Amino acid sequence: MRLQYTRRELFQAAAAASVPGLARAQAPAAPVAVARCRTYEPGELYPVLERMFDQIGGLGRLVKDKTVAIKLNLTGTADRRLGHAPLEQTTWTHPAVVLATMRLMDRAGARRIRLLESPWSTAEPLEEFMLKAGWEPADFLSTARRVEFENTNYLGYGKQYYRFPVPRGGHLFPAYDLNHSYRDCDVFVSIAKLKEHLTAGITLAMKNSFGITPCTIYGEGAGEEEPSLTPRGGRGAVIHFGRRAPSKSAPQEIDPNSPREGGYRVPRCVADLAAARPIDLAIIDGIESQAVGETAGSRGSFPVSPGLLVVGTNAVCTDAVGTALMGFDPMVDRGTPPFEFCDSTLRLAEELGVGTRDLGRIEVIGTPIREAVFDFRAARRERGVPPPERLLPRRRT
């Protein structure tokens, strides 16, 4: 795969990125469905999701006779909860949303469904990780005709990593080496949670893809020359703070002199991944979630119940609507909530041509945004949670 780019290509990409209006006009737009859903009970959840999928064109055209890869959001560890609530009610993708999506995809003719996640710094089977949180893998296996699980934090069941170049050259890396499952699928689905993020401002469908990077290459204990056999340590050293490079077998940073700061680096990595391995279907679970941070261990975090679902076929458009539903303006950038201390992933992905964040170009189907907003910052104020600058993770030196 090509890792070199001509001067003309780099100049054209930089020129488009330097003109915000041009970038927005060139980025594609796609409809996004929004619906109220108060519970995870199948009697409410299934018909709501089915209607939303129909509103954006139907699942059949996406999944019939196809291999579908579903990236879950099981961030953090399985034994750390926010208060006494199960992880799926605050931090993780809720299994009911996953099961409903799988059943509807099976009915729409999906040939195979593969559930994917990269649990932090572990090579244990994904099913074992689920069991630690009280999930039952058999529930997923019985939901569709052919279901598989894979931990993509390392080679998993594959024999080699595959390279995904970033269109227009990328922001942080020109390409990423990933597990085979992200190549061996016809449809890539991100099922995310509607949450804030202490480093990236928000974590929705695109930020969920941050976890597709294998820690054997992008982790703190990754091999220097080649990927390590098993993951050791998280992605902070390589991606958040740039204290070390990924394994030399993988493409190296575009600019080694760029800021060594998570608010600069993480949004760029997320935008790169959204362009390199595009999300074909974005589903955001906002029925129950948490405010302030992204994990059960995030300082100041507390449970919230927005009672919302968001579905779309363009991840930037879907995340832009999700951002607005959280009470934020998707057009703002660093210095304005939710991006007080980071660059906007929405803007960076838009510059790479993934999709538009301009709500004026996005058709919202179902419940209008103005009728469904759940203001995350208002919820913070009501709880007396400290301002964001006092909650940011401290950088290790």
Mean pLDDT, rounded, for 142-168: 97
Reported as a pLDDT band with limits 50, 70 and 90, residue 120 is: confident
Task: Pick the closest to residue 289 from 202, 227, 215 (CA basis).
Answer: 202
Give every CB contact of residue 154 below 8 A, 6+ residues apart in sequence: 123, 179, 214, 215, 216, 227, 228, 229, 230, 231
CA distance 33 to 200: 24
Residue with the bigger pLDDT between 356 and 8: it is 356
Reported as a pLDDT band with limits 50, 70 and 90, residue 8 is: very low
| Confidence (pLDDT) at 112 | 98
Reported as a pLDDT band with limits 50, 70 and 90, residue 2 is: very low
Q: What is the DSSP string of 104-132?
A: HHHHTTBSEEEEEE--TT--S-HHHHHHH
Task: Pick the closest to residue 321 from 357, 297, 366 (CA basis).
Answer: 357
| Confidence (pLDDT) at 9 | 40
Mean pLDDT, rounded, for 33-39: 98
Reported as a pLDDT band with limits 50, 70 and 90, residue 19 is: low
Q: Which of 26-40, 52-66, 290-304 has the lowest mean pLDDT?
A: 290-304
Q: Is pLDDT at 282 greater than 70 in this prediction?
A: yes
| Confidence (pLDDT) at 7 | 39
| pLDDT tens-digit map of 122-140 | 899 999 999 998 999 999 9
Mean pLDDT, rounded, for 49-65: 98
Tell me the angle at which helices 95-107 and 42-55 cross, rounded to the nearest 10 degrees: 50
Mean predicted lDDT score pLDDT of the chain: 92
Q: Is 33 helix (H, G, I), strand (E, B) or coil?
A: strand
Mean pLDDT, rounded, for 156-174: 97
Q: Is pLDDT at 187 greater than 70 in this prediction?
A: yes
What tokens appear for 109 in the block? 């003719």
Q: Is pLDDT at 263 greater than 80 in this prediction?
A: yes
Reported as a pLDDT band with limits 50, 70 and 90, residue 378 is: very high
Task: Pick the closest to residue 199 from 345, 382, 349 (CA basis).
Answer: 345
| Confidence (pLDDT) at 389 | 65
**Percent of the chain residues past pLDDT 70, beyond the cut:** 91
What is the pTM assigned to this prediction?
0.92
| Confidence (pLDDT) at 121 | 76
Could you tell me the end-to-end alpha-carbon distance of the chain, in angstroms, rounded to an integer?
36
Residue with the bigger pLDDT between 128 and 7: it is 128
CA distance 154 to 347: 30
| pLDDT tens-digit map of 246-255 | 999 999 999 9
Q: Which of 10-19, 175-184, 313-322, 364-373 has the lowest mean pLDDT?
A: 10-19
| pLDDT tens-digit map of 62-87 | 999 999 999 999 998 888 899 889 99
